[in-house]
Amino acid sequence: MSERVINIGLCGFGVVGQGVLDHLERKRSVLREQLGVNIVVSRIAVRNLSKARDINVDPSIVSGDALSVALDPDVEIVCELMGGTGIAREVTVAALKAGKIVITANKALLCDHGEELLSLAREHDGHLLFEASVAGGIPVIKAIREGLVINEFSSIYGILNGTCNYILTRMANEGLSYPEILVEAKELGYAEAKESLDVDGIDAAHKAVVLAYLAHGKWVALEDVRRQGITDISQEDIQFAKNSGYAVKLIAVVDRDRALNSLRVSVLPTLVSKQCSLGSVDGVHNAVAIHGDVVGETVYIGPGAGRDATASAVISDVVDAAKLLIFGGPEGGYPFLDPAPRNGSNIVLASAKDLKSRYYVRLVVVDKPGVMAEIASVLAAREVSLASVTQKEVGEDEERVSLIITTHLTTEQAILDVVEDLGNLESLEEKPFSMPIGNFA
């Protein structure tokens, strides 16, 4: 009997696509031994046929037409590695309608079109696998879907963007400003030329939406994710954190309140205790903490992006796809299994009035009598209780001072109102900056 061959089509051949091909070739004998089949990349789609690449490829398998690769009847597994939500969606839709197994690392595609794509997979007996879409080389999606399948999740929180974590780590370790480190991060390739996707929290929000669906079965629109990036974080915030036993991290949170049947999804700079598992995760690493009712807390830390980490996650899905084909039913297929709970549509989005935390607020004000009383009056009017106030001169300017305020437990709505009210004070010199003080016990 001849050995079975499973053909893969790579739609997209950038850094990740080349990593997938490289490692599949390197591990071919290992995979053959484990699965009893020969996994072969038989077609590759690229945007630019003339572009030089790090890996030599047989030109006869390379095409500029991603749809032709996805619809090739000999290709059983389609890896969508192009990024974006335009042609990537067209290719994914076409492959799923053809009943194929599609693997994607594209969190933006899932965030914007995940519900549609999973519906197509169900309707046409296809499959959509996406381990590489969240936290790179950390198998957090497998953990939720498989290892922790019996659990109900009360909370998932994590560092989901390595670029932001790298910048914040260097700000803390070297005392440099955000703009200084951003320039170097771009030079090192840790930040894109257009950095807003990372530093404004959009990338992390895409991933948080995927995690919310997997854990609770509800697709949350990106505009409904409470989101704030790291661009306004100053050395003053960093130093306060260090002196108080905290670190500043961009934290994605997916919290379920079963009593209110509500779900919170947010991405916010947060003061995280250094005693917390996430407080000491530095550099480009990602980390995810998952709270299940059966297992308790489990924490996953590792590389969140990059050629090899992402390729590792994609190939993990390739192996699962091969198993679906090998061990499927009489027609070689396997029934579609929804990866998430089915009752998520009844969950409501949490109201800011129901979300509670302690908060950090930084203000720059004119140094004159009565300013502190004015600020205290604003907080009192919103029933926000002061926990501490620190005052410091701004540079050599004796007429301006920085005030750092921490609050006792209050609602998110109250702090939003306070920040808006403070921003209207004539004594204020700069826009207020606020962030929650995390309670990740």
Annotated catalytic sites, by residue? 207
Q: What is the DSSP string of 116-182?
A: HHHHHHHHTT-EEE-GGGSSTTS-HHHIIIIITTTPPEEEEEEE--HHHHHHHHHHHHH---HHHHH
CA angle, residues 410, 226, 141, in degrees to nearest 5: 115
Say which residues have a Cβ less than 8 Å from residue 246's Cβ, sequence separation at least 6. Answer: 240, 271, 272, 273, 274, 279, 437
Say which residues have a Cβ less than 8 Å from residue 307's Cβ, sequence separation at least 6. Answer: 15, 16, 18, 19
**Residue 404 near residue 390, CB atoms below 8 Å:** yes
**Residue 6 near residue 103, CB atoms below 8 Å:** no
Alpha-carbon distance values, 217 to 47, 104, 147, 214 (Å):
35, 19, 17, 6
Q: How far is Cα 80 from Cα 95, in angstroms, rounded to an integer?
A: 10
Strand, coil or helix: 385: coil
Site of tokens 């004796």: 398
Q: How far is Cα 160 from Cα 265, in angstroms, rounded to an integer?
A: 13
Q: Which two tokens stand for residue 68?
A: 């032709």
**Residue 43 near residue 61, CB atoms below 8 Å:** yes
Q: Which two tokens stand for residue 394?
A: 């701004």
